[in-house]
Chains A and B, each alone.
Chain A
Amino acid sequence: MLFKHHHHNHHRQADVENAIDEQELPLSQLRAGVAARVVQVAGGNGLVNRIACLGFTPGAEVTLLQNFGHGPLIVCVRGSRLALGRGEAEQILVTTIEA
């Protein structure tokens, strides 16, 4: 299915009772070592296009490898390591996966 930007609100309301720990947050706020699933990618078409081709599509599993709370971060997605600017990481919405 197509994930449109306004869809995640419905999605969130529907799931809110049975999935309290399933919280949505930007990738930039994920702590190092945490695995998560991509929910939505926002931003201009050029950026979304680039990010999506590299594997950040809704449903994709990502693991955050390095995040110092400032500057770029390092993410593992689709089996490869990518350095991502903080601004770009803010456009990727994820939910954490229980280990």
Chain B
Amino acid sequence: MILLTQADASLAFGGEPALVVALAGQPNVGKSSVFNDLTGQTQYVSNWPGKTNQSKAGMCDHRGTLVQVIDLPGAYSLTANSSEERVVRDFLIHDQPDVVALIVNATALERNLYLLAELLALPVKIVLGLNMLDAAAQQGITIEAHVLEAALGLPVVSLNAARSEGVHELLDAAIRLVEHPGSYTPNRPEIRADHRSVLADLERLIAPYVPAPYPADWMALKLLEGDHQITELLQPHLGEAWESVHAILMQHEDAILAIAGGRYEWIGRMMRAAVTQPRAGQLTLTDRIDRVATHPWWGMLILLGILGVLFWLTYALGTPLQTWLDVNLVQAGSLWAQAQMQAAPPWLTGLVVNGMIAGVGTVLTLLPVLLIFFTALGILEDLGYMARAAYVMDRFMHLMGLHGKSFLPLFLGFGCNVPAVMGTRSIESPKARLITIMVTPLVPCTARLAVLATLAPIFFGTQALLVTWGLLALNLVVLTGVGVVLHEGFLGGEHKAFIMELPLYQLPNLRMIGVSLWQRLVDFIKMAGTIILVVSVLLWALSTFPGGTIETSLMGLIGQKMEPLGRVMGLDWQMLVALLTSFVRKENTIPTLAVLYGVGTQGAGLAEVLSSRLTQPAALAFLAVQMLFIPCMATLATIRQETRSWRWTALSMGMLLVISLGMGILIYQGAAVVGWK
């Protein structure tokens, strides 16, 4: 199922892993800390063919034994309720890892052990990693690991993943299980007495037909739970037997309540001797913070305050640093390269200076802003605040066909679309994440807004502010429309129930935030050195050859060829070329226009030419297209990187082209109909 794993592992370590350990766990258990502790810098992402999910894998040299560690998506149970849960169970059944290391959060042990109850119905060996014991102790919860181990009949290892404690002991336990399979005698939950005979009947009926490698007893259990995916999978195999199976299932439609209830009764028995709970009714720190943070009005104010501080930091710190990098990295680098290349042919100098340094350098100047945004996102997420922000915003985001967790990444998009697309990593549901990525370019970034702020006064004078707000509103309306259409078309209009865990607040783990920040920045720099480099050189060539100037270049010629398209929007070819060059960076629009109209960017030159060349409807059409047009190449490359799909990247580009040009035509032609000149 997993691509790359064995080949990459062998390449990196020169050997096959002796053991495959899959990390499983519910969300918010610190599983990625465990994964990072074990695999360090040897991680790589594996694709699951035919699915939007990705899973991380990595290698661990554990006391001389090479162990492959697979990080499975967070799942509350093993039902067909979410794609993460389906990925986990498909992996366990089809790939059969040697050991499953189940990481549980000691502060929510009862609910966490539900996944254990489900895992025990599958033919896998399990070790339990008991994480966040210190946070549990703060809540007054004490857990005796060895008592829990005795009750469960499987290895229980205490962890402090935030401080890398216990993770190698977890692998020790996994290796012992593989070396001494006879020692594994777990206490398995049994179905309640009143459903025992029904389950036995089902298993007997389906056993001859169950396709490999599915275990018949597990299939019978899932059928009884009403699992639609398993039912659909099994029905064609059952033939005549389906009638009898169906009749039984119809009689026990809500068996899931008895099955889940039975699992929780079993969990209660397992925990009884090992866990001491605090007195009920104590008000915890989390409760006290949540009185404000999740309040309908106070919560909104806090969220706005946090965003205000974040954007203030960006403008006070990020923007000056960006300018500094632009002067000292890009411009100084260009001058230096020009000095070094005096003997080189002009085209080569152009390639290096205007192609490579200008393109890659400009993208690298985004680093300070990315650093600020990702640090803030990491802290908010680790603190447990992201779930609250999502909770406060969920109602509004639902109207746009989006999830509450889409709000923060999208809002970051006003600063820069690149961290917005990368920030969607915190959205667990792959579909919700993909929809968020697809609508992100419709959030106008600072650069787009700067172009709008420069051009709107030229065309509309005193009404510029009105036009600016109108176009901003237009973007949000289009974003909502696209969100709803994608949600209806893509999720089949399925109404997703609103159920979300609100984890305990905890002090952020700066090491983990650093690791994830580092990974994001490395990904970004890699992207700048590869895809951005190629695209920059290509775009430079397009805007230089064959004639040497932009008018006589291929891009200029394309613009002139597209003049008929421009005419339906009231635009001349120069305006179209300006749109094309904005693909490198949005700010390019204005210098391109200045060059093409043969005027300077400063003073009245450009303003005069533009207002004489374009009627007001045409100008409005141009600004609308500019606001809705395909994003810059850095954003598009990030979309490709995060979706790992050229198809979705092309779809995003195509969709935005159609929407933006369509809107431009609509505005210009609409103005002609109502007689606005």
Contact = CB atoms under 8 A, between A and B. Distances in A.
A16 interface: no
A4 B502 contact: no
A80 B501 contact: yes
B256 A78 contact: no
B288 to A, nearest CB: 11
A21 B79 CA distance: 37
A31 to B, nearest CB: 15
Interface stretch (B36-44, B106-114, B237-245): B106-114
Interface in B366-410: 387, 391, 394-395
- Specify which of A57, A71, A77, A79 lies most central, judged by the most chain B CB atoms within 10 Å of its CB: A79
Contact of B290 (A41, A66, A82): A66
Contacts of A50: 79, 81, 497, 499
A66 B291 CA distance: 8
A71 B296 contact: yes
Q: Is the interface of A mostly helix, strand, loop or mixed?
A: mixed
A57 B260 contact: yes
Chain A CB within 10 Å, residue with most, of B111, B290, B503, B504 = B111
Interface residues on A, range: 35 or more
A63 to B, nearest CB: 8
A23 B205 CA distance: 43
A8 B230 CA distance: 30
Contact of A83 (B227, B256, B277, B499): B499
Interface string B63-81: 0000000000000110101
B286 interface: yes
A84 B497 CA distance: 8
Nearest to B494: A46
Interface in B214-261: 225-228, 252-258, 260-261
Contacts of B499: 50-51, 54, 82-85, 88
Contacts of B253: 45
B469 interface: no
A51 B504 CA distance: 20
Interface in A31-64: 35, 41, 45-55, 57-60, 63
Given A48-B256, A53-B81, A85-B497, A79 B110 contact: yes
A12 interface: no
A58 B501 contact: no
A1 B219 CA distance: 23
B256 A52 contact: yes
Contacts of A3: 254, 257-258
B108 A83 contact: no
A72 B404 CA distance: 12
Contacts of A54: 76, 111, 114, 499
Interface in B484-515: 497-504
B391 A72 contact: yes
A82 B294 CA distance: 12
- Of A35, A78, A82, most buried by chain B (CB within 10 Å of CB) is A78
B257 A2 contact: yes
B179 interface: no
Interface-central residue, B226, B255, B256, B501, by most chain A CB under 10 Å: B256
A74 interface: yes
A65 B391 CA distance: 14
Contacts of B252: 2
Contacts of B79: 49-50, 53
Given A72-B394, A88-B497, A78 B108 contact: yes
A68 B296 contact: yes
B432 to A, nearest CB: 15
B76 A53 contact: yes
A65 B261 contact: no
A81 B502 contact: yes
Contacts of B254: 2-5, 45, 48
Contacts of A4: 254
Contacts of B261: 52, 57-60
B218 to A, nearest CB: 16
Contacts of A51: 497, 499
A80 B195 contact: no
Given A51-B499, A74-B502, A85-B498, 9 more contacts: A1-B258, A3-B257, A53-B81, A58-B261, A66-B294, A78-B111, A79-B108, A83-B501, A88-B497
Interface of B: 76-77, 79, 81, 107-111, 114, 194-195, 225-228, 252-258, 260-261, 264, 277, 280-281, 286-287, 290-291, 294, 296, 387, 391, 394-395, 497-504
